[in-house]
Amino acid sequence: MVSLSPVPPPVNGPVGPLERGLAVLRELTRLAAHEGRATVRPGDLVRGTGLARSVVDRVVATLDQLGYLTLDGRDIGLAARLMELGNAYLAACGLPDALGPFAERLADRLDESVSVAVPDGDGVRFVVQATRRRTMSLAFRIGELLPAERCAPGALFAADWDGPAWAAWRARRAADPLDTAFPAVAPGRPPAPDTDFEARAEAAARDGWSLDDQLIEPGLVAVSVPVRDPAGRIACAVNVVSHTSRHDAASLRAAVLDPLRAELPAMEGALATPRGRGGAEPSGPVGAPGEDPARLAKRELGAGFLQSLARGLAVLRALGAADAATGGLSLTAVAEATGLPRATARRSLLTLVELGYAAADDRGFRPLPKVLELGCTPLADLTFTDLAAPHLRELVRTVQESASLAVLDDGDIRYVARVPTVRIMSVNITLGTRFPAYATSMGRVLLAGLDERARAGYLAGLAPEPLTRHTVTSVPELARLLERTAADGHALVDEELEEGLRSLAVPVRDADGRVAAALNVATHAGRGSVESTRRELLPALRAAAARIEADLAVAAAYRPLGTGSPEATRSPRPGKGV
């Protein structure tokens, strides 16, 4: 049994910093999602949260230390690593792993976007998305919250509501009739009468499916069916979305309802299968028995670091190991996973339960969909280059040289991100610039990352041209250089692309260990010897690549995040250069 105190922990008590930290994260998310503000100032957070400036400063400093925020002067933004909190819920609920393959197959078969949604209070959150890309793109971002009455899954979930749940829904409607709390809802549409939704919920309970006929947005139609857990409760809904240029509501129902229903037994079977210790792992240490990372950070950073906030977020991350099919985590398991004393872990768990981020029953503690409100939706729009940009800026500040990120494209490298340094003499390259891979440090790193067959195919068709008097044009010698690059984990190219230009590159790997991109620093050859360049730049370069890889693993855990390289699906062809 899980022992829960009937008295909620006080806001200004031992875990007050956790509540205040969550308030800051919610306000940052609100400003990003509602107002499209990628960065804010401390004063914005003071006004939005009602917290004192000194409190906001300490919260921001702690969240920055945890890697959850980006700081550029006074500008504060959400960092990709914050997605590990949402990933904890997605791992624990098991829906992406269990139903993601079904959503992809249905999307391919029906040629429509397919999503999976879960109830969150009187709203609906999306946790899986398989999108068909068209000019008219129809997709809900993972973590997106919609009012239940404005989407097809909502009527299915409302069919299970009790009296207090309906009362809470009516109170929310009365307080916010235009749904201003839901940024995904088109503004200005007058609300439908309450009775309309009540009738739709009754029909959904009777029919076993629900329809959205342009409720959320003009032109959007959708059909949903419920997926039930082993106890017969609705665990989630699978939703097929189309546009009125392709289907009206009736024709969409006729096209997709039977295929959806045919998959339900298999989906419910997959949902009932225990997943064990799978799921996404946090990018940083949560803790270990007898070890409390927050205590170590507090000792190092002093009063500016909010230990209770760091510990509470570590507890939230640890809940990602819960298994929806078999139950939650015990207090003892959470304490062991985080390295916290049981009493400390319990205080954090009680606060998370009180605030709606976790639930507790006789099977243990587990995270709830509300966790997805902590940055997940605005961060879902991150591209690979967005993710890498702050790390490139930090690298440039550290080494005082220009840094770039490139991918392999038909035997050339193509620049996808770049941060130049400001110097009288600097390297001037723009995004989209292409160079032959064989004569560049990033190209050699990318080619070294290919499998043996792809690399041999590239070399077999290569006819290298001398770009300077130093360019290596012997194919056997290039093959040896690629072998050495693969073994060393970096490549240094000295004046082979252009006289006076030296560059050093390392690979950036995805979560599966494949080379996804290359990161380099470019400098003038006259600034030092080859060995001094390697000695002075390589440690910082590798550290930056490791930070990008950690963020990439978090951001791509439950959604595709391409690097912009076409080489994932085909072998490179030898390029002719610029």
Q: Where are the chain's structural domains?
A: 16-80+286-379, 95-272, 384-568
Whole-angstrom distance between the N-terminal and C-terminal Cα of the chain? 67
Per-chain mean pLDDT for the chain? 86
pLDDT at residue 285, rounded to an integer: 45
pLDDT at residue 11, rounded to an integer: 41
pLDDT at residue 135, rounded to an integer: 54
Distance CA 496, CA 483 (A): 18
**R_g of the chain, CA atoms, integer Å:** 26
What are the two backbone dihedrals, phi and then psi, of residue 467, each rounded to the nearest 5 degrees? -95, -25
pLDDT at residue 430, rounded to an integer: 77
Asked whether the domain spanning 384-568 has the same topology as the one spanning 95-272, the reply is yes
pLDDT at residue 188, rounded to an integer: 62
Distance CA 406, CA 399 (A): 19
Q: Which residues of 107-123 are buried (b: 16+ CB within 10 A; e: fewer)?
A: beebebbbbbbbbbbbb
CA angle 148, 153, 155 (to 5 degrees): 60
**Residues 365 and 319: beta-carbon distance below 8 Å:** yes
pLDDT at residue 354, rounded to an integer: 94
CATH architecture for the domain at 95-272: 2-Layer Sandwich (3.30)
Fold designation for 384-568: Beta-Lactamase (3.30.450)
Fold designation for 16-80+286-379: Arc Repressor Mutant, subunit A (1.10.10)
Q: Which amino acid is at 108?
A: D
Task: Sort residue 500 into left (φ over 0), alpha (ψ -120 to 50) or beta.
Answer: left
Q: Tokens for 343, please give them.
A: 């009493």
Distance CA 9, CA 18 (A): 11
The residues of the chain scoring below 70 in pLDDT are 1-15, 133-139, 187-188, 275-303, 422-428, 562-578
Length of the chain: 578
Q: Which spans in 355-468 are helix H? A: 376-379, 384-399, 441-448, 452-460
Give the number of other Cβ atoms within 10 Å of residue 262's Cβ.
10
pLDDT at residue 12, rounded to an integer: 40
